Chain A
Amino acid sequence: MKSNSGKKPAAMSVYKKHYGREVRVYYLMMAPFGVLFVIFVLVPVISSIALSLSDFNMAQWPRFSGLDNFLRMFMDDSVFMIALKNTMIFALFTGPVSYFLCLIFAWLVNELGNKLRTLFTFLLYIPSMSGAVYVIWAYIFSGDQYGLLNSFLMNFGWIKEPSQWLTDPKTIMVVVIVVQLWLSLGTAFLSFIAGFKGIDPQQYEAGAIDGISNRLQELWHITLPNMGPQLLFGAVMQIGASFAAGAVGTELLKAAGAGEEGIATDYAASTMTTYMAELGTTRYEMGYACAIAVFLFVMMVVFNGVIRKALRRFVD
């Protein structure tokens, strides 16, 4: 466009004028979302970094405190250590397990004909949509003998006394992990199904001629290499969900009536996000809460980088 501008100055200037007007319209069209995105995503990320270096209780102006908050996290806060441990369980165990469940179930669903595929996609996606309704789980894991699980286990003689699933620090994390896994077939699952479905059938026919003899070989040699972008999208969604996990525990405990704020005995089910929310919204230790947020950002970005590298084989 710019190389031979000397030849047709008139036409070019008309083009430029038109182009300039068009770009202005583009910016106007992006403005409403853009403003909200800056206020509610960019500003929070950037100001978290600034506030993490300060002592800030919302009432007074933030006071610079250097790296104090980060030192306190690791040297002087046993609750943070529990939250960190639980977050890492979600990031390193529940997250990858969810990811592979999404992949495997999406693959199985896609092996079926149109009608069955639609039916099973719908049924398997139901938990993600009813996810906020933690009440049901509170009834199932209810600590008395009216709890469905307790009654079931006692009926079969597997346990004698009703177990306090939600108040015992030993079992609460197990319950939260179960519910989190139940919720795991979400956006990534749909993306994978669509990815599997979008692969050109001719590739499978060509593969069969080239000596691929079963479904698993097909999956590894044809299907997965064809859906790298979906795998990456799923990974990003999963990282976001895993590091932010914890709300399930809080809501379950609230629904079960175990503590007004939904905090388990000895913070047994706290994660970095629930601890952060507690610090920020009830204790007003904003500087410290932001330091935890920044630590979380860094971990997420690092994980994302590692996974992108690992998936490079599938993404061109």
Chain B
Amino acid sequence: MSKGLKIKNPFRSHAGEYMNRSKAGTFGIVVFLSLLSAFLILPFLYSIFQSLKPIDEIFAFPPRFFVKNPTGENYRALFMLTENLWIPFSRYVFNSVFVSVVGTAVYVFIASMAAYPLAIGRFRGAKPINEIIVQALLFSSPVLAVVQYLIIAKTGMLNTYWAMILPILAAPLGLFLMRQFMIQMIPMSLIEAAKIDGAGTFMIFWRIVMPNVKPAWLTLIIFTFQPIWAGAGAIYIYDEAHKVLPTVLGQIAAGGLARAGVGAAAAVVLMAPPILLFLFTQSKVLETMAASGIKE
């Protein structure tokens, strides 16, 4: 956080301990949620165990959920898996990391930059633009996919990094969350004061507003990174040299049981980054989501 102005965070936390709370009720909720979480993360745990199994345990019958003698063999095999893939595995890793990191960084910047004027809202056109953004939240990417495909194909962007990055940069959700958060966190008086001090509009945005909406940009990072990393742009890629991890993972998995351990290892490699990212930013994300409401 910069040394300059720091706005007091209005986001309270409460311990959930008021009147009308019975101890037994709370205990029941904890038990229920524990069972539910165990069930929900079952496939996730299964892939971790599966990825650590030596070959004889994978072929063991009946199949076991847990691993007996964990080994790192599958992970080593995954990165050595060159003879059955067209290009080295590290190239797919690079592709995925490259499009995810570049796409996320650019999105956070341009969406925040666009959100600032819309949060201030003091110009003609602000209202209709805000309305269009809110309406556009409805149209998730699969619904737009066909014409997006047409545009990408006609502009010769198939099989390029552009195809995987550009459509993601047009997502309204991040802009919407950023704008809502700015409205809630940045008092007009602060901006007026900076203006009187002679700061230009972009400088106000960059030096005063951005450091104060850190939770929102962490949230945008999560929400943008996740779909790109999960292979949102993979449909535009046929060329082996540009393929990303999720596509390759599918190819490995289609190899059947003989590849089950390696496939599970690839699944773990794919799942880890977004989960770790969320683990460290969870409180900031929730802070941002408090401003996510749509007011009519």
Tell whether B145 is near chain A: CB-to-CB under 8 Å. Answer: yes
- Note all chain A residues with C-beta closer than 8 A to B235: 277, 281
**Is B117 in contact with A26, judged by CB distance below 8 angstroms?**
yes
**Is A122 in contact with B138, judged by CB distance below 8 angstroms?**
no
Which stretch (B69-77, B83-91, B279-287) binds chain A? Answer: B279-287
Given A136-B264, A193-B286, A280-B141 contact (CB < 8 Å): no
Given A277-B235, A280-B149, A108-B294 contact (CB < 8 Å): no
- Note all chain B residues with C-beta closer than 8 A to A108: 29, 32-33
**Is B142 in contact with A29, judged by CB distance below 8 angstroms?**
no
Residues of B bordering A, CB below 8 Å:
11-21, 25-26, 29-30, 32-33, 36-37, 40-41, 43-44, 46-47, 50, 61-63, 65, 110-111, 113-114, 116-118, 120, 123-124, 129, 132, 134, 136-151, 153, 166-167, 169-170, 172-173, 175, 200-202, 205, 223, 226, 229-231, 235, 246, 249-250, 253-257, 260, 263-264, 266-267, 270-271, 274-275, 278-279, 282-283, 285-290, 292-296
Choice from A251, A293, A315 contacting B296 with Cβ under 8 Å? A315
- Note all chain A residues with C-beta closer than 8 A to B40: 123-124, 126-127, 182, 185
- How many residues on chain A are close to B (CB under 8 Å)? 121
Report Cα–Cα, A48/B149, bound state, in Å.
12
8 inter-chain pairs at a CB distance below 8 angstroms, sorted by A residue, are A127-B44, A129-B271, A130-B275, A135-B267, A244-B143, A257-B253, A297-B143, A300-B138
Choice from A112, A200, A232, A277 contacting B26 with Cβ under 8 Å? A112
Choice from A154, A230, A290 contacting B147 with Cβ under 8 Å? A290
Report Cα–Cα, A17/B153, bound state, in Å.
44
Report Cα–Cα, A125/B19, bound state, in Å.
29
Interface string of A226-251 (1 = CB under 8 A from B): 01111011001101110110110001
**Is B138 in contact with A208, judged by CB distance below 8 angstroms?**
no
Q: Which residue of B lies closest to A209 (CB)?
A: B19
Given A33-B169, A109-B33, A281-B149, A205-B294 contact (CB < 8 Å): no
**Is B25 in contact with A293, judged by CB distance below 8 angstroms?**
no
Which stretch (A67-75, A77-85, A140-148, A166-174) binds chain B? Answer: A140-148
Looking at chain B's contact residues, the main secondary structure is helix
Tell whether A92 is near chain B: CB-to-CB under 8 Å. Answer: no
